[in-house]
Amino acid sequence: MSTAAPVPAARRPAPKRRAAEPSVLFDAPGPRARRRNALLTVVGSLVILGILAAIVWRLADKDQFAGKLWSPFLKGSTWTKYILPGLGHTLSAALVAAVLALAFGILFGIGRMSDHAWLRVPSAVVIEFFRAIPLLLLMYFVFSGPATISDGLNREPPHVTEFMAVVVGLMLYNGSVLAEIFRAGIQSLPRGQSEAAYALGLRKNAVMRLILVPQAVTVMLPAIISQLVVLLKDTALGYIIGYTELLNYGFKQIPANYGNLLPAAIVIAVIYIGLNMTISAVATWLERRLRHSRKRAAGTVDTTATQLPGGAATGAD
């Protein structure tokens, strides 16, 4: 069978440049629109830089960059007496609340998917109720509610610490959000996954534990980590009820001793940004690792030959 001779490289037509394909949200800009967008970007950047320069100039005019205001952060005593204890309190509250919120979310998220109405309906009510209440109000209710109720009943009020109020408030609010994340992640899987498992005779708890949850972890992980970052930042609300976390030390105790509210706020903000970026980086690494492990496991299964009763084997060609 004859084949056509290959076309010399010199005679091959030059590949046509594809026009910009229109997006779903907007049409692709033409040359004039791109030039206009570039000009607007430059002008906008100059405006933002001008605003930042004006802010810096005003701060310098108010002596906010004076060395005496920043020098306390070069002393070890400032870190060991204020910043590190506050950071430890923030991380301890966030860690305990994160563990409890994950357990709360798994319990009520699975309960909301139950086939039994006596379990599904109360789980839905609890989730929607705590999602609708602002977190700061939850902390207030946990901190002062038992004492108020005990006074009305003429009983001795239970001892509720600021740490307990912060942790319980974070658990209830973020746990309700995580419950919806778990439910959405599991329900996003193809229905055939669970139907095939039921056809093999597995019960619902085994299907959930062995089939659905392991696959949904990769899908849910970015949303879970994002919510845990929100939880970490929300520990700052404990400042309102007197919990001595990082924000309390940065906005109350350090300025009270050194008179440097703005520098302290900048340092505390940088610490929060570093914590959140670290958590996000760990989450990205973990998600890539999980995806790589699943792809490798799927490739191993696909290339494994299956012995048939007749002696033939099936596998990847």
The pLDDT tens digits for 172-191 are: 999 999 999 988 888 888 88
Of 114, 238, 221, which Cα lies nearest the Cα of 164? Answer: 238
- pLDDT for 297 equals 58
User: Model confidence at 5, in pLDDT bands (50, 70, 90)?
Assistant: low
Strand partners, 314: 306
- pLDDT for 213 equals 79
- How far apart CA 153 and CA 176 sit, in angstroms, is 30
Q: What does the domain layout of the chain look like in residue ranges?
A: 71-297
User: Model confidence at 99, in pLDDT bands (50, 70, 90)?
Assistant: very high
- The stretch 107-130 carries a mean pLDDT of 90
pTM of model > 0.75: no
Query: Which CATH fold would you assign to the domain 71-297?
Result: MetI-like fold (1.10.3720)
Angle subtended at Cα 284 by Cα 278 and Cα 289, rounded to the nearest 5 degrees: 125
What token pair was written down for 46? 């100059």
